[in-house]
């Protein structure tokens, strides 16, 4: 199969000519191809080979029903045929449908809805529903749907700021204070965690990397006329020693947890961190982690209740003990 771009252009030009005029002589096909490519001459031999490739080439997969009427010229034996309507293979159908289903989760976010619409156009153009003979291609797959979280309207301007390397200015209020502060941030990353969206960026005044939850924005992010500072932010390095979204300048510690057999299997089959090491003991399992003991780790351990015991570090063990003690006092 000819692999150069000129051949691919000629295929599309020939296809459009046969669709628009129904019949086309060899001279007409040569003329429209020369006009499209702004080059001449194109030989009859080249067009003959193009027609043959469109009809017979397995790699192209067009199998175009091109016929020749000696009086009128070339035409499509099937008037509804077009190389733009080539059906997808079964694997391609499944892949597109899977992508469309995943993107549908974010249909309420304008920038993602654009992608969803683009995929849906391909799905419809390729006539997938006719091929599958089903109203819904994936009725047996249901993704986790979370309630729409506050702040999703800020996703698009933040993405554009990251893409265009612009500093953004916004007002922000944390959960622990009523004070509203204005921040100038060089945004590096958008990250979703537990159904909330977070932005990670460089604070222009403090010159440190910080994380901001979008549902705590109290103003629209606006572009600030400040030169953007690109520090080559590496998301893997930044989050490699934490569980969750918030990190700190602390050094990672060795965390040792004793889990019941029941709880251990959940952790084994879905590791909580890349540093995780599991050792089976008599009647229980030992899980070792190399992480910073952040709030997310503490909440995770608290959620396991009596299924877990913190062995080390002692500071984490004491913290968990105090929290459980407060829980009992609230009963």
Q: Which of 10-14, 70-74, 175-179, 322-326 has the weakest average pLDDT?
A: 175-179
Average pLDDT over residues 21-41: 89
pLDDT reading at 262 higher than 50 = yes
Q: What is the pLDDT of residue 86?
A: 62
The answer on pLDDT for 151 being more than 90 is no
* Among the listed residues 285, 277, 281, the one whose alpha carbon sits nearest the alpha carbon of residue 259: 285
Containing 293, the helix (H) or strand (E) segment is: none
| Mean pLDDT score across all residues of the chain | 85
Nearest CA to 203 out of 194, 211, 192, 193 is that of 211
Task: Encode pLDDT of 32-46 as tens digits.
Answer: 998 888 877 899 999
Q: Are strands 66-69 and 196-203 parallel, antiparallel or unpaired?
A: unpaired
Distance, in Å, from the CA atom of 2 to the CA atom of 179, rounded to the nearest integer, reads 66
What's residue 105's pLDDT? 62
Instruction: Output the six-digit token pair for 92.
Output: 């391609």
The position carrying tokens 């080539």 is 86
Neighbours of 168 (CB within 10 A): 25
Confidence check: pLDDT of 79 > 90:
no
Q: Is the pLDDT of residue 207 over 50?
A: yes
CA neighbor of 211 nearest in space, from 241, 190, 230: 190
- Dist. CA 167–CA 130, nearest whole Å: 48
d(CA 268, CA 90): 34
Residues across the chain: 331
Structure confidence at residue 127 (pLDDT): 47
85: pLDDT strictly greater than 50? yes
Q: What is the pLDDT of residue 150?
A: 79
DSSP state of 217: B
**Beta strand spans in the chain (E):** 66-69, 73-76, 167-172, 181-193, 196-203, 209-213, 222-224, 253-260, 277-281, 284-291, 308-312
Predicted confidence at residue 1, as pLDDT, reads 41
Mean pLDDT, rounded, for 70-89: 83
Q: Tell me the whole-structure pTM to 2 decimals.
A: 0.62
Whether pLDDT at 303 is above 80: yes
């Amino acid at each position: 199969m000819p692999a150069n771009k000129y051949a691919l252009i000629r295929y599309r030009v020939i296809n459009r000519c046969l669709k628009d005029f129904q019949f086309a002589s060899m001279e007409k096909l040569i003329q429209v191809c020369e006009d499209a490519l702004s080059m001449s001459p194109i030989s009859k031999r080249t067009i003959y080979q193009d027609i043959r490739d469109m009809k017979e080439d397995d790699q192209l997969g067009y199998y175009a029903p091109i016929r020749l009427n000696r009086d009128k010229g070339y035409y499509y034996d099937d008037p509804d045929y077009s190389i733009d309507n080539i059906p997808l293979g079964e694997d391609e159908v499944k892949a597109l449908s899977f992508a469309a289903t995943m993107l549908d989760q974010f249909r309420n976010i304008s920038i993602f809805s654009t992608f969803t619409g683009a995929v849906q156009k391909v799905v419809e153009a390729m006539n997938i529903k006719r091929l599958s003979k089903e109203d819904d291609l994936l009725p047996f797959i249901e993704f986790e749907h979370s309630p729409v979280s506050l702040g999703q309207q800020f996703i698009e301007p933040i993405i554009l700021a990251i893409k265009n390397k612009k500093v953004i200015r916004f007002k922000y209020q944390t959960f622990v204070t009523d004070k509203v502060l204005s921040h100038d941030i060089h945004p590096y990353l958008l990250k979703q965690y537990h159904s909330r969206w977070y932005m990670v960026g460089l604070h222009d005044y403090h010159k440190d990397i910080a994380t901001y939850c979008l549902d705590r924005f109290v103003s629209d992010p606006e572009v600030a006329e400040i030169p953007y500072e690109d520090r080559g932010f590496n998301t893997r390095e930044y989050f490699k020693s934490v569980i969750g979204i918030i990190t700190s300048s602390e050094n990672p510690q060795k965390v040792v947890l004793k889990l019941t057999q029941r709880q251990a299997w959940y952790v084994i089959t879905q590791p909580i961190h890349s540093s995780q090491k599991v050792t089976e003991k008599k009647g229980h399992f030992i899980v070792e982690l190399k992480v910073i003991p952040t709030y997310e780790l503490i909440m995770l351990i608290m959620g396991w209740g009596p299924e877990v015991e913190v062995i080390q570090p002692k500071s984490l063990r004491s913290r968990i003990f105090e929290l459980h003690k407060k829980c009992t006092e609230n009963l």
